[in-house]
A and B are shown apart, each in its own frame.
Chain A
Amino acid sequence: MSKAGDKFDQARRNFLRGIGLGTAAAVAQPAWGGQTFQDALADFFQKDYRRMSKEEIDEALGRIERRVKAQYDVDIDCQNTPPQENVVYGYAINISRCIGCRYCVHACVKENNLGRDSQVQYIRVLELDQGNFNLEQSDHYYDPEKVPVEGKHYLPVQCMQCDDPPCVKACPVEATWMEPDGIVVVDYDWCIGCRYCMAACPYWARHFNWTTPELPAKEINTNCHYLGNRPRPRGVVEKCHFCIHRVRKGQQPACMEACPTGARIFGNLLDPDSEIRYVLANKQVFRLKEDLGTEPKFWYFSD
C-alpha cells in the first residue's frame, strides 16, 4: 500500500491549490472558510435535520449552496425532497448477470459527488473464484484487461439499508437514522465523526472523510439533496443513500441506470406489482450475513 506516499502527494496538492485559492479568496471572502461570519456562526449552531423547522432547513440549504459556490464557484440546487407516501425501497442484484465492469461504481462516484482524491466509493465489487463464496478470499482490487474473467464471479456490495440497522443504534448523537421510505441517511452537519457506526456496520458500507473531499468543479452534480449527494465536509461519515435525490422523484438510482447487463433491480417493496416484488416472489434470493439479524433491504439472486 502506498498510503503514506498518497498522503504526501495529497499534502503537496493541497499546498499548491492553497496558493491559487488563497489569492482568489483574499479578494472575495477572506475568513471563515470562504463563508461570511454570519453563515459560519449559523452553521455552527445549526440544529440537527429532524429538529429543524421548514424555514430553518431552507436557510441551511441556502448556506450549503453558498458554501459550495465559495469553494468551487458552482451553483448547486440543494433540495429537501420528502419521502413519498407508501414507499419503502428495496434492491436486488442478479449476480449471474454481473460481469464486474464497475460501471455502477463510476456512475455512483459522479452522481454522488464522491471525493475523487479520497477514493471513497459506496459500491465495492468483489471478485471471487467460481464456486467460492468466502469473502475473505475475494479480490477487491481486480484489474484485468477485460471482464468478466473466465472462472470468476462478481459480487457488488453497498449499503444494505438494513431494516434493523446497527449503525443507527451505534450513533451517540442520532446523526444517522432510517427515513420513512427505508433509506438510512446521515446528517453531515450533525455527525461528530466518532466512527462508531463504521465499527458497527457488518457490510463495510460506511466511509469517513479523512480529509476534505476534493471534487473537480466541472464534474459536480448540481442536483443535490440535503441527506444525499451534496458535497460533504471533512471529518464526517457518509454512505450509499439509494440516490435519495433521484429515487424520491421517481428516477432510478444511478448504479442501476449504469448497469449494462440489467443485473440491478430497484423498486418499491410496498407495491405488489413492482419488479422487485416479482424477484422476491419468484427467485431464490438470499441476503448477506442474514445471521446477524440486520434485515437488509438488499437481496441477491441468480438465474
Chain B
Amino acid sequence: MNVVRFIFDGIREMFRGPRIYWIWLAVLTAIIAFGAWNYSLQLADGLVVTGMSDQVSWGFYISNFAFLVGIAAAAVLLVIPAYIFDRKDIKEVVLVGEGMAVAAVTMAILFVIADLGRPDRLWHMIPVLGRFNFPVSLLAWDVLVLTVYLLLNLAIPFYVLYSRYRGKQPNFRAYFPFVVIAMFWAISIHTVTAFLFSANPARPFWHTALLGPRFIASAFASGPALIIITLQIVRKTTSYKISQSVIDTLALIMTTALQINLFFVGAELFTDFYNEGAHAASIHYLFFGLGGFSSLRTWIWLALALNLIAVTILMIHPTRRHPVLLNVACILTFVGIWIEKGMGLVIPGFVPTPLGEIFEYVPTSVELAVAAGIWAFGVLVFTLLAKAVIAIEMGKVRQRESESALSF
C-alpha cells in the first residue's frame, strides 16, 4: 500500500506547479501530438514517406538513436563520483542524471521503433514467445542492454526516493551492487551500439576498431554538456540547491572527453586519407563530397568547427569558468556531436553503396516531425521525473504520519 501511495504522491507532484510549468507541459504535448500525427501518416503509407531508400536504408531516426544512447550512457559520469568517490555535492544531483538517462533511453528505443517497417511485429523479439537472435545479432544485444539499463535507472532512484519518502536513509549496501552494475552497463550500452555499426565489414566507414572508443569519448562530451545546461535550468526554476562544484567537475570531464574525441577524429582522417583507398570513399563523401554529391559536407565541417571552438573555450581556465562562455561551449559541443555522431556517422556508411552507387539521403518533413515528437516526449519524461525527484529530495513530498500508521 505504501508503494502505491508513493507512486500516487509522486505522480500528483508531477502535475502540480505554477502556470509557466503548465504552459511548458502544454507546449511539449503539442509537439508530441504533431509528431504522433506524422507517425500515423508513416503507418498509413509505409516508410516510403521518409527519405530513406534501398541505397540509404537508415536515416535520421537511427542517427538520433546512436546519439541518444550516448546521452543515456553519460549519466554514469555522475554515478561514479557520487557513489564510488562519495562526492556529496554530486550525490545530490545524481538522481537528476539518472532521470536524464531514463528519458534518453526512452527516446532511443522510440527512435528504433519509429524506424521499423513492421512495428506490429515487435513481439517477435520477445524471447520464448518470439525468436530473439541472442547472442549472435548485435541488434539483439542492443535491445537487451538498453532494456536492462532502463530498468536499472528506474529501479535505483525508485528505491532511494521511496526511502526518502518514508523519511528513512536508503540502505547503501542494499543498492550499491546495482550501482556498480549500472556503471558497467552504461559503458556497455554505448559500446554495443558502436559495435552494431563496426561489426559490418560491408560498410568500411563503420568497420573500424576506433568506433567504440570514439562513441564513448563523444558521449562523455555531449552528455555532460546537456547535464550542465539542465542543472542550471533546474537551479533557475526551482529552489533546489546545486553546488557550482558539480558543474566545475562536469566541465572538466567534458573538456578531456572532447579533446580525446577530436584526437580520434584526427586519427581517422589521417588513416583514411594518407594513402587513400576505396575504403575511404565514404569519408571522402562526408568531408569533400563524391561524384558531385555533397549534402553532408557543410554539416560535418560545421560540426568540426563547433567542437573546435568549444574545446578552445573549455581548455582555457578563465573562459571555462565564465558562466556564459561555458554555456556556449556546452551548446556548441552538444550540437557538434549530434551532427558528427548522428547523420555524420550513419549516412556516409551507406554512401556509396557496396556496389558503388552514390545516392543521397535527405530527411523528409515527416521524419523531422516524428523526431521532434520523440525529442519532446523525452523532454516531457525528464521534466516529470525531475519534478517529482526534486520535490521528494527536498522533503516536500513525504509520507504523512497518519497514513503510515494506517498503512498495512
Which residues of chain A have a CB within 8 Å of any CB of chain B?
1, 3, 7, 10-11, 14, 44, 48, 51, 120, 124, 126, 134-138, 140, 157, 166, 169-175, 190-196, 198-204, 206-212, 234-237, 289, 292-293
Which of A48, A136, A206 makes the CB contact (< 8 A) with B356? A136
Are A173 and B132 touching (Cβ within 8 A)? yes
Are B357 and A192 touching (Cβ within 8 A)? no
Are A137 and B356 touching (Cβ within 8 A)? yes
A166 to B133, CA, bound (A): 13
Distance in Å: Cβ of B277 to nearest Cβ of chain A: 11
Chain A CB within 8 A of B117 CB: yes
On chain A, the residues within 8 Å of B360 by CB distance are 1
Distance in Å: Cβ of B125 to nearest Cβ of chain A: 6
Distance in Å: Cβ of A142 to nearest Cβ of chain B: 12
When C-beta atoms are compared, the residue in chain A nearest to B358 turns out to be A136
Given contact pairs A166-B201, A235-B118, a sample of 14 additional A-B residue pairs in the complex whose CB atoms are under 8 Å apart:
A44-B120, A136-B281, A138-B356, A170-B139, A172-B132, A174-B133, A192-B119, A193-B118, A194-B139, A199-B57, A199-B202, A211-B46, A234-B46, A293-B201
Which of B131, B278, B354 makes the CB contact (< 8 A) with A201? B354
Decide if the interface of chain B is mainly helix, strand, loop or mixed: loop
A58 to B360, CA, bound (A): 43
Are A236 and B117 touching (Cβ within 8 A)? yes
| 3 residue pairs, one from A and one from B, having the closest CB atoms | A193-B117, A235-B117, A202-B202
On chain B, the residues within 8 Å of A138 by CB distance are 355-356
Chain A CB within 8 A of B340 CB: no
On chain B, the residues within 8 Å of A198 by CB distance are 54, 57
On chain A, the residues within 8 Å of B119 by CB distance are 192
Chain A CB within 8 A of B298 CB: no
On chain A, the residues within 8 Å of B58 by CB distance are 195, 199
When C-beta atoms are compared, the residue in chain B nearest to A201 turns out to be B202
Known A134-B278, A171-B133, A236-B118: A207·B54 in contact at CB below 8 Å: yes
On chain A, the residues within 8 Å of B133 by CB distance are 171-174
Which residues of chain B have a CB within 8 Å of any CB of chain A?
45-55, 57-58, 112, 115-122, 124-125, 130-133, 136-140, 143, 196, 199-203, 278, 281, 349-350, 352-360
Are B201 and A292 touching (Cβ within 8 A)? yes
Are B121 and A190 touching (Cβ within 8 A)? yes
Known A48-B124, A199-B349, A203-B355: A209·B139 in contact at CB below 8 Å: no
Are A195 and B117 touching (Cβ within 8 A)? yes
A211 to B54, CA, bound (A): 12
On chain A, the residues within 8 Å of B281 by CB distance are 136
When C-beta atoms are compared, the residue in chain A nearest to B352 turns out to be A136
Known A170-B138, A170-B139: A209·B54 in contact at CB below 8 Å: no
Distance in Å: Cβ of A237 to nearest Cβ of chain B: 8
Are B116 and A192 touching (Cβ within 8 A)? yes
A199 to B125, CA, bound (A): 19
On chain B, the residues within 8 Å of A194 by CB distance are 112, 115-117, 139
When C-beta atoms are compared, the residue in chain A nearest to B355 turns out to be A204
On chain B, the residues within 8 Å of A120 by CB distance are 54
A190 to B130, CA, bound (A): 9
Are A208 and B54 touching (Cβ within 8 A)? yes
